[in-house]
Amino acid sequence: MTRRPLLARYEALVAGGALERDPAQLEALARLEALALRLSEPKPAGVGARLRALLPGGSREAPRGLYIHGLVGRGKTTLMDLFFDAVAVERKRRVHFHAFMAEVHARLLRARRASDSDPLTRVARDIAQEARVLCFDEFAVTDIADATILSRLFTALLTQGVIMVATSNVEPRRLYEGGRNRDLFLPFIALIEARLDILRLDARADFRLEKPALAEVYFTPADDSARATIDALFAELSGGARGAPMRLRVGARDLDIPVAANGVARFDFSDLCARPLGAADYFTLAESFDTIIVENAPAMTLERRNEAKRFITLVDILYEKKTRLIVSAETDAAALYAAPTGHEAQEFARTASRLVEMRSAAYLEERAPQTSISPV
């Protein structure tokens, strides 16, 4: 077996045309390779090893995790996936950060119902027993409920020896920028900077915007013509079903679907993004339907930043789950959020990029529902 498994897999992707060799990616790959090799080393066993660990300087320092940040489409997720596939650790997990936090909150609810004296410590201990290595994709903090528990949660995980690798569009000091009670979140930033190596990935421009063949699943403007086209798509994808309202259970509450049939759900933008919905709701939708239709997405400014944040989360989750997305919008994806600065403006650049990639043949073929949409 090669001692450079990540590099070998990367070169195979380059040879197959899926990637172009990039110096910045190779630098990040080397850091991930070193961590993978360190984690793959067998732990010293026996009484002697345990006794040496009790002596000053006798135990090996735990490997530091890695936090990789950079602009959208630079290959962060691809590199982390190469690491995850190659690292020879039995207990490992790769998860989208929104999904992880939704799961944490669900576990906390169960622990509180069981009258656990310290629910957060219990949840952290359970997670640490399940995974020695945690890989987080799209590390982003937008919810105050997440922000208030992250420092304690991750301190507990790191104390129990969990190694973390994360990708993000922002450097740690910009996480939860502009969020409520951000001062309570600052210890978490200090923890990340102290316990993980921070690497900026300055690779070439976003490759997703270069995809040539795109399907007609994004319609602008959101007028009568767009609605008629979406009516026809709904009929085609649902096998001619009329569609009807339905209800899904999300935790302890219900999520209403205005129209659904045969794996297709149809919403107005306001149904999903003007209401106080979150990652758990969007994950339930992504797991329940092959195709989500969102109509009448407006051009948003800073005054509608909460709607923009929800739309960012929705697209991230549908993308992660390879759910097909059909949209009618007031304007092109790149212009949907017009605020010139701020955290959401940078995050929305990723959303616009993904809305392009989600129209490509490669994306549409990954989750294979009964009826296909062909690129034009």
pLDDT value of position 2? 56
Helix axes 305-320, 343-357, angle to 10 degrees: 40
What pLDDT is attached to residue 324?
Answer: 93
Q: How many helices and strands in the chain, by DSSP H and E?
A: 14, 11
- Count the neighbouring beta carbons within 10 Å of the beta carbon of residue 167: 26
Q: How many alpha carbons lie under 13 Å from residue 93 in its C-beta half-sphere? A: 13
Per-residue burial over 7-37, b if 16 or more Cβ lie within 10 Å, else e, is bebbeeeeeeeebeebebbeebbebbbebbb
Q: What's the pLDDT at 340?
A: 64
| 83/86 Cα distance (integer angstroms) | 5
Whole-angstrom distance, CA of residue 212 vs CA of residue 214: 6
CA-CA distance, 206 to 265, in Å (whole number)?
A: 30
Q: Is omega for the bond preceding 221 within 30 degrees of 0, making it cis? A: yes
Radius of gyration of the chain (CA): 22
Q: Please give the Cα distance from 50 to 31 (Å, whole number).
A: 29
* Non-local CB neighbours of 206 within 8 Å, separated by 6+ positions: 71, 72, 73, 74, 353
Taking Cα atoms as reference points, which of 262, 231, 260, 235 lies closest to residue 248?
Answer: 260
292-320 pLDDT, tens per residue?
999 999 999 888 989 999 999 999 999 98
**Fold of the domain built from segment(s) 207-366:** Rossmann fold (3.40.50)
Which pLDDT score is estimated for 373?
52
| pTM summary value | 0.69
Model confidence pLDDT, tens digit, residues 131-166: 999 999 989 888 888 888 999 999 999 999 999 999
Domain boundaries, the chain: 5-200, 207-366
Q: How far is CA 366 from CA 155, 294, 304, 355, 372, in A?
A: 37, 20, 33, 15, 11
Please report the pLDDT score of residue 54 as a whole number: 47
Which tokens in the block code for residue 75? Answer: 């290959």
Per-residue pLDDT of the chain (376 residues; tens, 9 = 90+): 456 788 988 898 888 777 788 899 999 999 999 999 999 876 655 555 445 444 544 445 679 999 999 887 788 988 999 999 999 999 999 998 988 988 898 899 889 888 888 999 999 999 999 999 999 998 988 888 888 899 999 999 999 999 999 999 889 999 988 888 888 899 999 999 999 999 999 877 655 555 445 678 899 999 999 999 999 999 888 888 888 999 998 877 899 999 999 999 999 999 999 999 988 899 999 999 999 999 999 999 888 989 999 999 999 999 988 999 999 999 998 888 887 666 777 788 889 888 988 888 778 877 655 444 544 4
Domain at 5-200: CATH architecture: 3-Layer(aba) Sandwich (3.40)
Apex CA 42: angle with CA 41 and CA 45, to 5°? 150
How many alpha carbons lie under 13 Å from residue 115 in its C-beta half-sphere?
0
pLDDT of residue 1: 46
CA distance 19 to 188: 34
* pLDDT attached to residue 376: 42
Task: Tell me if domain 5-200 and domain 207-366 are identical in fold.
Answer: yes
Task: Classify strands 196-200 and 65-69 as parallel, antiparallel or unpaired.
Answer: parallel
Question: Distances from the Cα of 140 to the Cαs of 92, 115, 137, 234, in angstroms?
Answer: 21, 30, 9, 33
Exposed e or buried b for every residue in 95-125, given b needs 16+ CB within 10 A?
ebbbbbbbbbbebbeebeeeeeeebbbbbbe
Read out DSSP for 144-169? HHHHHHHHHHHHHHHHTT-EEEEEES
In this prediction, residue 60 carries a pLDDT of 56
Question: What pLDDT sits at residue 34?
Answer: 94
Query: How many Cα neighbours within 13 Å face the side chain of 6?
Result: 24
Count of beta carbons in the 10 Å neighbourhood of residue 299: 14
Is the CA virtual torsion 214, 215, 216, 217 positive or negative? Answer: negative
What stretches of the chain adopt beta strand conformation (E)? 65-69, 92-96, 133-137, 163-168, 196-200, 218-219, 244-250, 253-261, 264-268, 291-297, 324-329
Dihedral sign, CA of 338, 343, 346, 352?
negative
Q: Measured on CA atoms in the order 227, 272, 210, 368, is the torsion positive or negative?
A: negative
Residue 52: predicted pLDDT: 47
